Structure 1
Amino acid sequence: MGSQLNPYIAFDGDARQALEFYHEILGGKLELGTFGDFGSPESPDASKIMHATLTTADGFTVMAWDVPERVPFNPGTNVALYLGGDDPTLRDYFEKLSAGGTVVMPLKKQIWGDEAGTLVDKFGITWMFNITQRQ
């Protein structure tokens, strides 16, 4: 299989809601496991997500967790998710992910010839898009 690089996003108690939102838009298979599921049923974090993976038919993989109470949480300013390619569906993803969030750079044709845009979704996660033009 080789090496793989996936984004892993830390949330402050709303990882389940965020991943279910992304799953609704991107489709695929969503796996959620709580701290309780992984052997800490008595923990104050038992119902929080310890590990979640969203794997889509398009080849996207997003991983996430809820930061436990003992770990400092810094909202997602240090994480950006990049979606790129020539699939026109990316425009639909951009529109849906921006619902309730902020479009930082509208999706439009750029000087290099591709469409690009950036948004921050309603969970504070930055998404960068680059849609290459099909030949």
Structure 2
Amino acid sequence: MTTRLNPYLGFKDNAREAMTFYQTVFGGELALSTFGEFQASEDPAEKEKIMHGMLTTDSGLVLMGADTPNSMSYTPGDNYSVSLSGEDEGELRGFWEKLSGSGTVTVPLERAPWGDTFGMCTDGFGVAWLVNIAGAQQQEAQP
């Protein structure tokens, strides 16, 4: 897998509905994971909310989205991020260092419950970034 750059949309309690709608618009395969599946929230009200949604079309379009946790602010109009994902750990860590170096780390780049390395930051221009390094390569690199 090469490194991909795609939009990541934030929603407030309606990510499942929104991502399902986008699937009717663009077609493709929709994968949805809840906060409950990964024990990613201690708030029982968030158990069924979407922690990560990914729509992938046959033509190569990728759109991601999730519900904004209650612990994070949600402001319509500011509810987007740009996601970098792939398997090239060196390349992605380099992007992370440059993007986070001029801004603020909101989630440190570290092992995530789903097995990948994941982090979130806002760069010096106020753009929110998500970086996800696929876990398979990391597992192969371990002795």
TM-score, structure 1 normalization:
0.54
Which is richer in helix?
A: 2
Q: Which structure has the greater CA radius of gyration? A: 1
| 1:2-58 deviation digits (Å, cap 9, x = unpaired) | 221011111011111110000011111000111011125863211110000000011
| 1:79-133 deviation digits (Å, cap 9, x = unpaired) | 49xxxxxxxxxxxxxxxxxxxxxxxxxxxxxxxxxxxxxxxxxxxxxxxxxxxxx
Report the aligned-residue RMSD. 2.3
Answer whether contact 2:30 2:56 (CA < 8 A) is retained.
Answer: yes
Structure 2, unpaired ranges of 5+? 82-143
Answer whether contact 1:10 1:66 (CA < 8 A) is retained.
Answer: yes
Give 1:18's aligned residue. 18
The amino acid across from 2:22 in the alignment is Y
Give 2:7's aligned residue. 7
Answer whether contact 1:28 1:55 (CA < 8 A) is retained.
Answer: yes
TM-score, structure 2 normalization:
0.51
Question: Cα distance 1:41–1:33, how it changes in 2: closer, same or farther (>3 A)?
Answer: farther
Distance in 1, matches of 2:77 and 2:49, equals 17
Answer whether contact 2:50 2:67 (CA < 8 A) is retained.
Answer: yes
Structure 1, unpaired ranges of 5+? 81-135
Equivalence map 1:77-96=2 (5 Å): 77=78, 79=80
Equivalence map 1:1-135=2 (5 Å): 1-39=1-39, 40=41, 43-77=44-78, 79=80
Give 2:85's aligned residue. none
Answer whether contact 2:8 2:64 (CA < 8 A) is retained.
Answer: yes
Distance in 2, matches of 1:3 and 1:65, equals 21
The amino acid across from 1:68 in the alignment is P
The amino acid across from 1:34 in the alignment is T
